[in-house]
Amino acid sequence: MKRLQLTLILMVLLLPAGAQEFIGLNEKNIRETIAREIPRLTPDNTVRNETFRYIKYHSGDDNETWLIFLDSGGRCKGVRITCGSAVYEARLKELNEKYHASGLNSWTYRSGGEQISVRLKKEEWFFTITHERAGNR
């Protein structure tokens, strides 16, 4: 049983973040993509924010939260993933392997003809990975 749990945990931790697939997509397509490609995430509709429009998801163990920010047209303009510090090294390695480094804890990639920037910010108990169109800081 412990072996199965360890295997499942490692699979979840080593799966790619996939946030680049959302920028430019509408809400319906985002929800379909998450259900299909990241089924470990559950929609969280408990909090509403009238200032920012976003879709919120969290993992079953609450160690990972995704905020997918939408523009006024309902299309994704950025993604912020917050994770517990336990997976920091694995996520840092993933970012270094998938994207082109553009500075300390920052990367870039192209998606759908757009330049996307990725930033990692580490705090004491958690860290965040932010994907957004380059120049939207």
Each residue's pLDDT tens digit, 34-85: 999 999 999 998 877 777 899 999 998 889 999 999 999 999 999 999 999 9
Whether residue 39 is contained in a domain is answered as yes
In three-state form (DSSP H/G/I as H, E/B as E, the rest C), the secondary structure along the chain is: CHHHHHHHHHHHHHCCCCHHHCCCCEHHHHHHHHHHHCCCEEECCCCCCCCCCEEEEEECCCCEEEEEEECCCCEEEEEEEEEEHHHHHHHHHHHHHHCEEEECCEEEEEECCEEEEEEEEECCCEEEEEEEECCCC
Residue-range definition of the domain harbouring residue 94: 16-133
Whether residue 26 is contained in a domain is answered as yes
pTM tops 0.85 = no
Whether residue 94 is contained in a domain is answered as yes
Whether residue 1 is contained in a domain is answered as no
In the chain, how many domains are there?
1
Whether residue 6 is contained in a domain is answered as no
Whether residue 27 is contained in a domain is answered as yes
Whether residue 3 is contained in a domain is answered as no
Whether residue 111 is contained in a domain is answered as yes
